[in-house]
Amino acid sequence: YPFGADLLLNWLPQFGQQEVLGMALWQYIGLLAIMLIAILVHLALSRLLIPLVRRFTRRRAQAQRVSSDLVWKIARTASVYIVLRLIKAFLPILQLPIEASSFAVMVIRILSVLLVVYILFRILEVFMFYADRFTQRTESKMDEQLLPLLRRGVQFVFLAGGVIQIFRVLQVDITTLIAGISIGGLALALAAQDTLKNLFGSLTIFLDKPFQIGDWINFSGVDGTVEEVGFRSTRVRTFANSLVYVPNGKLADLVVNNYGLRTYRRFNTKISITYDTPTALIDQFVEGLREIVATHPHTRKDYYEIHLNEMSSSSLDILFYIFFEVPSWSDELKARHEVLLGVIGLANFLGVRFAFPTQTMHIEEFPGTTANSSHYKTGPEEMSQRLEAFLAAYRERVK
């Protein structure tokens, strides 16, 4: 009689020895008592373990902490595990039949394995939480790309260990099981061809590094930002905010255009002005455009092309071919905005008119009237002075 069970039997009245459904009444009473005590111990332990778990998951260097919900899950699960181990230790007091006792012990051991795996998963979430905060402070994006793979790899190890332990509890011969799996290995390999192809595609992506998380890529009509590179597939968030899953085996064979690796971002447009613009004014305007590009802090200074390039049907077209040195599309749009405002302001300041794709009939003159064409009366010296005044104001604005 372990733990003084004989004293309990002597204390109970004689009717406690009566059997119901193969068990004595005192055993039923003892089972209920153990369940009640287990519930009370679980509630108490859950609240006692929360401060310990919170201290374990807290780091003074981190401004953000693990969520209270995750801390509560770890504490509650650890409490259930401890209670199960206590029930297993005190179960012999009830003197249950061998079959019932063996079955109860087996169930408790299986549940204990599942709880340990669950706790390990939650602890892994804590480590991933801090690892994610650490990678956000690093310049390289490779660590952000490795984190999802590391998480899934560790989870697979935990699951595999749990399954093996459950097989041992069930007294399954693992060696025989592995031998049986090896017999069907050929069929399994044939069925897993795509999976293996995607796995090797993942390795190719990690070794070659054609893109990283956060890069803007384009392939086979898909245009978007890389969100995650997993074991099997890569997730790409399109600019329509949809999510595209691409198998890594297929992606490794495609031609991928990585816009995220650009050193400079090209901006190619044309500025159309009216045909009646004097040549001297065109020269002044082009010179001002070049100075705008040279002055802006986020443009490439060693290479740009700004020239009178074409004579189209309704306008004189100035080629405006420049590059921005910015890290993101949002910064590029902001820089474009500033440069284009400078172009419009320069045109208004010098009196240059933009042409529209229209056809206009000019009647040079009626009897008794003056000619209808525009006349630019500003001289070259005044044009130069006005250009210098505008550029001085523009430099102050884009500093």
Measured CA to CA, the distance from residue 73 to residue 77 in angstroms comes to: 6
Domain parsing of the chain, residue ranges: 2-172, 189-260, 265-363+370-398
Please name which of 334, 270, 275, 325 lies closest in space to residue 299, comparing C-alpha atoms: 325
What CATH code is assigned to 189-260?
Answer: 2.30.30.60
Total count of residues recorded for the chain: 399
pLDDT digits (tens, 9 = 90+) for 175-189: 666 666 555 555 555
H and E: helices and strands count for the chain = 12, 10
- 4-33 average pLDDT score: 61
pLDDT digits (tens, 9 = 90+) for 344-354: 999 999 999 99
DSSP string, 34-98: HHHHHHHHHHHHHHHHHHHHHHHH--TT-SS---HHHHHHHHHHHHHHHHHHHHHHHGGGG---H
The C-alpha angle 225, 137, 261, rounded to 5 degrees, equals 35
What CATH code is assigned to 265-363+370-398?
Answer: 3.30.70.100
Q: Which residue has the tokens 């599309």?
A: 329
pLDDT digits (tens, 9 = 90+) for 203-255: 787 777 788 888 889 998 888 998 888 778 889 999 889 999 988 888 888 88
Does the pTM surpass 0.75? The reply is no
Average confidence score pLDDT of the chain: 79
pLDDT value at position 304? 94
pLDDT digits (tens, 9 = 90+) for 43-100: 887 777 777 766 665 654 444 455 667 777 888 888 888 888 888 877 777 777 777 7
pLDDT digits (tens, 9 = 90+) for 150-181: 888 888 889 988 988 888 888 877 666 666 65
Greatest distance between any 2 Cα atoms in the chain: 137
> Please, which pLDDT band fits residue 373 given cuts at 50, 70 and 90?
low
Residue type for 295, please? T
- 356-368 average pLDDT score: 62
